[in-house]
Amino acid sequence: MKRRALPGLALAMAWMMSWATAAEAQQARTSLGASDGRPWARGVTEQDEQAARALFQEANERLEESVFVEAVRRYHRALKHWNHPAIHYNLALALMNLDRPVEVHEHLVAAMAHGPEPLDTGRFEHALGYKSLIEKQLAWLDVSCDIPGATVTMNGRQLFSAPGRFKGLVRPGMHSLVALKAGYLPTEKGQPLMPGEKVQVQLKLYTADDVTRYRRRWSGWLPWSVMGAGMAVAGSGALLHQRAQDRLDALDTEVAACTEGCFPGPTVVRLRNQADTLQNVAVGSYVIAGAALTTGAVLLYLNRSQPYRVNPDAPGQELLVTPLVGSGSGGVLGTLRF
């Protein structure tokens, strides 16, 4: 995401930088003080103090010359020797010119950690006012994940390994929060943030089984009932076919009983007609039964269980319909969005 300074933030930076005059840089340089037991000076060796003073002086000179990148580098090096509030304060001044408001806030907080004394009342109040202003221009984000071993990133940058939490100021705009772990579906959340907004996000991870449900097009009994009806018709056809055969057997008996010169009587004609009718009805029954069984088989295939994805955090809300490929396949794993 391309970073752009917000209009209000740019004005605030310009206002803040109006204080970063050469005179103030000179005063800040001499305000480090000595290692006299004060909280910000405890444990600082003479060697570290001298190194910090030298780097602080070089950084102030770069700040006066508006060489902000070099000033920032030297302030950071000075802090490694002496974690002094005045170094944090001047570092914040340099960072304002590099469009890095989150870091500016971080160092302003550090500069005010011991109250006005290590700075002076004027600079302390100035830092306090800008800290309040920048908090209204940025957004506060609280991200957590409780799945052990998961990696949580924001905009492609790793925040922490779960279980863990990130709490801090971020730039307004759309941010991509992602939680990843082997064996789980990736969870991605696009989180819009407005200036001054406070947002809390808990990222959850789910396996494919957790988010997969199954459904059919129709009730399970429908295909089987069609096939059952087809089998019943086929059975009726077989019964009619057997009765037709009985009529033909009786007809053969009547014909065999006739002597030479005997003409078929009404019984023979009746048996012949009944046999033909029963056979025709039986064949029709077979055709209907075959159609019913075929239809039932097709319905049974179409009515097989189909997997689909749901949002576990919103029961009943469908996210994605993804047919599994093959009976032994684990399915097509996708990104779970909610």
For 92-116, write each residue's pLDDT tens digit: 999 988 989 999 999 999 999 999 9
- Tell me the mean pLDDT in the region 75-90: 94
pLDDT over 50 at 248, yes or no: yes
- Tell me the mean pLDDT in the region 229-255: 81
- Tell me the mean pLDDT in the region 154-167: 94
pLDDT range class, residue 259, cuts 50, 70, 90: low
pLDDT range class, residue 247, cuts 50, 70, 90: confident
pLDDT range class, residue 264, cuts 50, 70, 90: low
- What's the Rg (C-alpha) of the chain? 43
pLDDT range class, residue 243, cuts 50, 70, 90: confident
Among the ranges given (94-108, 173-187, 256-270), the one the predictor scored with the smallest mean pLDDT: 256-270
Among the ranges given (34-38, 47-51, 284-288, 326-330), the one the predictor scored with the smallest mean pLDDT: 326-330
Top-confidence residue, 332 or 133: 133
Torsion from C-alpha of 308, 313, 314, 316, nearest 10 degrees: 40
| CB of 112 closer than 8 Å to CB of 123 | no
Top-confidence residue, 132 or 5: 132
pLDDT over 80 at 263, yes or no: no
Question: Cα separation of 284 and 59, whole Å?
Answer: 102
The predicted structure's pLDDT at residue 314: 65
pLDDT over 50 at 188, yes or no: yes
Top-confidence residue, 51 or 327: 51
The predicted structure's pLDDT at residue 32: 66
The predicted structure's pLDDT at residue 304: 85
pLDDT over 70 at 117, yes or no: yes
Average pLDDT, the chain: 80
The predicted structure's pLDDT at residue 22: 41
pLDDT over 90 at 87, yes or no: yes
Percent of the chain with pLDDT over 70: 79
The predicted structure's pLDDT at residue 324: 35
Residues 277-314 have pLDDT tens digits of 888 887 888 889 888 889 888 888 888 888 877 777 76
